[in-house]
Structure 1
Amino acid sequence: MAIPVEAFYLTPGAAGSLQQQIRAMVTQGVLAGRFRAGQRMPSSRGLAAHLGVSRITVTLAYADLVSSDYLTSAGRSGYFVSENAPRAPEFPEGPPRAEAVDFRALTGGRFSGLARVERPEDWDRYPYPFIYGQADPTLFDHQNWRQCALRALGKRDFAALTSDYYERDDPLLVQELVRTILPRRGIAAREEEVLLTLGAQNALWITAVLLLGPSRRAGVENPGYPALRGVAAATGAEVVPLDVDAQGLPVDGLRGVDVVFVTPSHQCPTNATMPVERRVALLEAAEREGFVIVEDDYEFEMSFLKPVAPALKSLDRGGRVIYAGSFSKSVFPGLRLGYLVGPPGFIAEARGLRAMMLKHPPGHIQRTMAYFLGLGHYDALVNRMKGAFRRRRQVMAEAIAAEELQVAGQGGFGGSSFWMRAPEGVDTGALALQLRREGVLIEPGRVFFAGDGPREYYRLSYSSIAPQKIADGIARIGRALR
């Protein structure tokens, strides 16, 4: 029995080439049991005419499926579903499922209810996306990243691609970090002082679990990174909000805490950069009061207005600073690759904790990133981003001034966003919903504050929006506020 040509159709906007889409239709049909072993496929000419594609496209797809043993070729008789094609297991239909356990009550909703910066999943379909942290495809180095990924897929790197590293990391990437990235921050580290993580948030989680607990107190910046408050609270520690000023976290009053989390390069979300004098004072306070500092050094690469300041870790002589870095902002957020730097004793414990959860980040991603760094593509990408962000920042600053909007924090070193304040009495949560209907996305600021914080703050980022759209988008915000 032949498979009718009507069983095949192309979905508008589907991912992949036409050849890949045809392959996917056949493999899904076989695995779902719709196409049975021995059934004859439509002729390449007939399927091509039905789908409106060239015959060679269908022929190449069929040949690919033969090599994968989904189809067999019988010469002039055509193509048939292979007797050896993979088959999905068949099970009898089970009883209807019911939610017999109230898992939200059982777990207490400790994690699903945590405050998050909310953005629509289809943010890139909005014409004016002033949202933070997404990659701009016009700036990314697609070609060289692809070449590095292909090299990491080669036979020479088979072990790096397929091996279980157990608790170890790719030595090539660790060497690049120690040799290239950390010295730019003034950090001299040995390989045993570095641990790779699934992004900076995973690094912060590992650090919090190791250093905090029910009897500990964690000092966190206010306003600050919302997920960090959730991570610290989940350990059972007391979370102590520490109000920041125009220079980041003040040192006065840092007493009675066990761990202090800080973002000195570009404070989240105000963009304040901590002066070197305050960094030294913070280290002296840590030595005097006996607390540990966790330095989240995100966006340090985006210092394009002034030379980058030295990391806290570079000034640390007593081993009290745990340093967390990430490639998620400088390369792309979906990379989920970060790192921790700390004394060997801390890294050994962090490595043991990571092994209990995920062992190590994927080997192929590690090796691709190592090549991207080693061949100089990373530095070229960062330079391109700095130039683009400098221009976008200038356009946004001029548009904000023209609309007479109030900037609450912009930072003097660069970054990728402005921290804004609406007029008294404006709820930026409601403002965000109103603007969304006009195609404008902003980030309400209340989520960055501990407790029931002020509602008039909001964040505008220029990393994800085309420069020619900035002025019009800011004008729409100005009209909405007026």
Structure 2
Amino acid sequence: MALPVETFFLHPDAEGTLQTQVRQLVAEGILAGRFRPGEKLPSSRKLAAHLGVSRITITLAFTELLADDYIVAQGRSGYFVSENAPEPPQFPATASEDSTVDWSRAIGQRFTPTQGIAKPRDWAQYRYPFVYGQADPTLFDSANWRLCALEALGKKDFDALTADYYDSDDPKLLDFIARQTLPRRGILAKPDEILLTLGAQNALWLTAQVLLTQRRTAAIEDPCYPAMRGILEQSRCHLHAIPVDKDGLPPDSLPAETDVVFTTPSHQCPTAATMPMSRRMALLEKAEKDDFLIVEDDYEFEMSFLTPPSPALKSLDKNGRVIYVGSFSKSLFPGLRLGYLVGPAPFIREARALRASVLRHPPGHIQRTVTYFLSRGHYDALVGRMGRAFHDRRKMMDKAVEDTGLTVAGSGSFGGSALWMRAPKHIDTRHLAQRLSEQGVLIEPGHAFFSGEDAPKNFYRLAYSSIPSKRIANGIEILARTLRSMS
């Protein structure tokens, strides 16, 4: 039986090349059971004319399907669905009926956050996206990343691509981090003192799981990274939120029973405050005196376009009390999900064992691709390009904010990618964000960064990492006008 050509059509929203789309529609038809073994496909000429594509596109798609044994060629008779093609499921997919489980009782521990930061998936469709942490496609080096990914797929890297590292990491990437990345922050570490993670958040989770119990006490900054607070709440430890000032976390405010302190000294999240050297030394001295550990999240240190970044706490630590968290996801792209932990070998050994029990290791292909991107010099070039662009955008932001009379509550002294803002006290920035989104402006309300039910609601964050310089002034003007109307 010949399959009618009318059963083939290309979806207008389909992704990929035309060749990929043709291959996919044939494969999906076979996997769904609509095209059965032995049935004849339309000729490449007829199918090309019907779909409005070139005949070579159809021929190349059929060649791929032949290689994967979805179809077979029979002399001059044409192409047929292969007898060895994957078979469709023999039973229909069904959804369960009304559940009889009382999930409010069945769930033993809850992980859904009470509040968090909402990031619209279509943020790039907004004209004025002052959103934090999203990659700018105009700055990212897609061409060289693609070349590095292709090289990592090559035959000489077959083991790195396919092997189960179990609890190990790509030795080439570890070597680069130890010899190139960490020394830039004044940190020296051996391979057994470094662990790759699925981003900084995974590194923080591993750290909390290894160091904290229900009997131990952790201190965090207030405001802070909301996911960090969620991680510690899930650990069920005793938790103290310490209000930050213009210099970040004040060591004298830490309770005597503190076991672990989580801090962002170089670029406080979200206020962007930088902890001065005197306070860094005071924090280290207090850690030694009161016998607690420090977890340093050193995000965005690469974005130093105003002044050089301050030394990392880890570089000043002489007693092994600082555990360092770094990430490539901020400087490359958030979807990469690749970070690293640096700490004493006994701690890294336990974190490595925990990681192995949960997710084994980050994908080998990703590790090797990043290794090539770093070692070929593309990463440094990218950071330099981003720094120059962010510097220009920061100048535009500063001028626009000054011209419109908005209030800056915090801005990074060495650079960064966002400003921490304060609206009039009666303004709930969640309502402000809703009104602005209707005008094509995206901001991040600040309430989620604070601890406690009576947290202030008039703070918000303005990022300039993903908005073109030429749109900044207009976006800030809309923001200021909307604030005035709400007042």
TM-score by length of 1: 0.98
Question: Is the Cα–Cα contact under 8 Å of residues 117 and 443 in structure 1 kept in the other structure?
Answer: yes
Number of the residue aligned with 1:334:
335
The match for 1:462 among 458, 461, 464 is: 464
Root mean square deviation of aligned Cα: 1.3
- State how 1:18-29 maps to structure 2 within 5 Å: 18-29=18-29
Whole-angstrom CA distance in 1 between matches of 2:66 and 2:149: 27
* Local SS of the residue matching 2:296: strand
Cα 1:476–1:183 shift into 2, 3 Å: same
The residue that corresponds to 1:55 in the other structure is 55
Given the superposition, is the C-alpha separation of residues 96 and 210 from structure 1 closer, same or farther in structure 2, using an over 3 Å criterion? closer
Q: What is the match of residue 325 of structure 1?
A: 326
Q: Which residue of 2 aligns with 1:481?
A: 483
Which has the higher mean CA deviation after the structures are superposed, 4-13 or 232-241? Answer: 4-13
**Match for residue 438 of structure 1?**
439
CA contact (8 A) 2:2 2:40 kept: yes
CA contact (8 A) 2:113 2:230 kept: no
Give runs of aligned pairs for residues 36-115 of structure 1, distance below 5 A.
Answer: 36-91=36-91, 96-107=96-107, 110-115=110-115
Task: Give the equivalent residue in structure 1 for 2:205.
Answer: 205
Q: 1:95 to 1:151 in 2, by over 3 A?
A: closer
Assess if the C-alpha contact under 8 Å between 1:115 and 1:447 holds in 2.
yes
Between the aligned partners of 1:256 and 1:245, the Cα distance in structure 2 is: 22
Cα shift at 1:104: 4.3
**Runs of 4+ displaced beyond 6 Å:** none
5 Å-filtered alignment, 1:249-328, equals: 249-254=249-254, 255-328=256-329
The answer (yes or no) to whether the contact 2:186–2:315 under 8 Å persists in 1 is: yes
How far did residue 109 of structure 1 move?
Answer: 6.6
Tell me the secondary structure at the aligned position of residue 253 of structure 2: coil
Task: Give the Cα separation in 2 of the matches to 1:416 and 1:432.
Answer: 19
Unaligned runs of at least 5 residues, structure 2? none
Q: Secondary structure at the match of 1:330?
A: coil
In the aligned structure 2, how far is the partner of 1:372 from the partner of 1:63?
Answer: 33
CA distance in 2, matches of 1:355, 1:114: 29
- Does the 8 Å contact 1:133/1:333 carry over to 2? yes
Q: CA separation in 2, counterparts of 1:281 and 1:309? A: 15
Please tell me the residue identity of whatever aligns with 1:296: D
Q: Larger deviation: 46-55 or 143-152?
A: 46-55
Shift of 1:13: 3.3
Displacement of 1:99 after TM fit? 2.2
Shift of 1:108: 5.9
Residues 1:159 and 1:431: Cα distance change in structure 2 (over 3 Å): same
Residue aligning to 1:215: 215
Contact preservation (8 Å) 1:115, 1:227 = no
Aligned to 2:11: 11
Q: How far off is 1:105 after superposition?
A: 4.0
Opposite residue 289 of structure 1, the aligned amino acid is D
Indicate yes or no: 2:166 matched with 1:166: yes
The residue type paired with residue 425 of structure 2 is E
Q: Deviations over 1:223-259 (max 9, x none)?
A: 0000111101111101100111111111112232111
> Any conservation in 1 of the 2:411–2:418 contact (CA below 8 Å)?
yes
Aligned to 1:427: 428
Q: Does 1:153 align with 2:159?
A: no
Q: For 1:380, what is the secondary structure of its paired residue?
A: helix
Q: Answer whether contact 1:303 1:414 (CA < 8 A) is retained.
A: yes
Alignment match, 1:122: 122
Structure 1 residue aligned with 2:237:
237
Counterpart mapping for 1:384-399 below 5 A = 384-399=385-400
Matched pairs, number: 482
For residue 76 of structure 1, give the secondary structure of its aligned residue in structure 2: coil
AA aligned to 2:401 is I
Deviation at 1:125, TM superposition (A): 1.2
- Give the letter for the 2:64 counterpart: D
Q: How does 1:176-195 map to 2 (within 5 A)?
A: 176-195=176-195
Counterparts of 2:335 and 2:94, CA distance in 1 = 37
Deviation (angstroms), 1:126: 1.1
Q: Which amino acid aligns with 2:10?
A: L
1:166 Cα deviation (Å)?
A: 1.0
Distance 1:347 1:88 in 2: 46
Task: Supply the distance in 1 between the matched residues of 2:20 and 2:29 (Cα, whole angstroms).
Answer: 14
* Matched AA of 2:247: Q
CA distance in 1, matches of 2:300, 2:288: 27
Secondary structure (helix, strand or coil) at the match of 2:265 reads coil
Distance 2:96 2:241 in 1: 48
Letter in 2 for 1:479: R
**Cα offset for 1:471?**
1.1
TM-score, normalization by structure 2: 0.97
1:471 equivalent in alignment to 2:473: yes
**Secondary structure of the structure 1 residue equivalent to 2:112:** coil
460-469 or 185-194: bigger deviation: 460-469
Relative distance call for 1:95 and 1:468 in structure 2 (3 A) is: closer
Q: Distance in 2 between matches of 1:95 and 1:122?
A: 30
Secondary structure in 1 matching 2:86: coil
Q: Secondary structure at the match of 2:324?
A: strand
Q: CA deviation at 1:12?
A: 2.0
**Bigger shift: 95-104 or 53-62?**
95-104
Match of 1:268, SS state, is coil
Q: Deviations over 1:390-446 (max 9, x none)?
A: 011111111111111111001211000000011120000011111111111100000
Alpha-carbon deviation of 1:385?
Answer: 0.6
TM-aligned CA deviation for residue 2 of structure 1: 1.5
Amino acid across the alignment from 1:231 = I
Residues 104 and 175 of structure 1: CA distance in aligned 2, closer, same or farther (over 3 Å): farther
Change beyond 3 A, Cα 1:361–1:2: same
What is the CA deviation profile of residues 35-75 of structure 1, one whole-angstrom value per residue up to 9, with x for unaligned ones?
A: 10111111212211221111111111111111111111124
Distance in 2, matches of 1:133 and 1:95, equals 37
Structure 1 distance, partners of 2:370, 2:265, is: 26
Give the % identical residues. 61
> Aligned letter for 1:264?
P
**Counterpart amino acid of residue 229 in structure 1:** R
- Summarize deviations over 1:334-353 as a string: whole Å, max 9, x none: 00000000000000011111
Tell me the distance in 2 between the aligned counterparts of 1:108 and 1:422: 40
* Greater Cα shift, 4-13 or 337-346: 4-13
Q: Which amino acid aligns with 2:66?
A: V
Matches for 1:369-408 after TM superposition, within 5 Å: 369-408=370-409
Task: State the distance in 1 between where 2:403 and 2:33 align.
Answer: 63
* 2:225 alignment partner in structure 1: 225
Cα gap change, 1:93 to 1:281, in 2 (>3 Å): closer
- Give the Cα–Cα distance (whole angstroms) in 2 for the partners of residues 108 and 221 of structure 1: 28
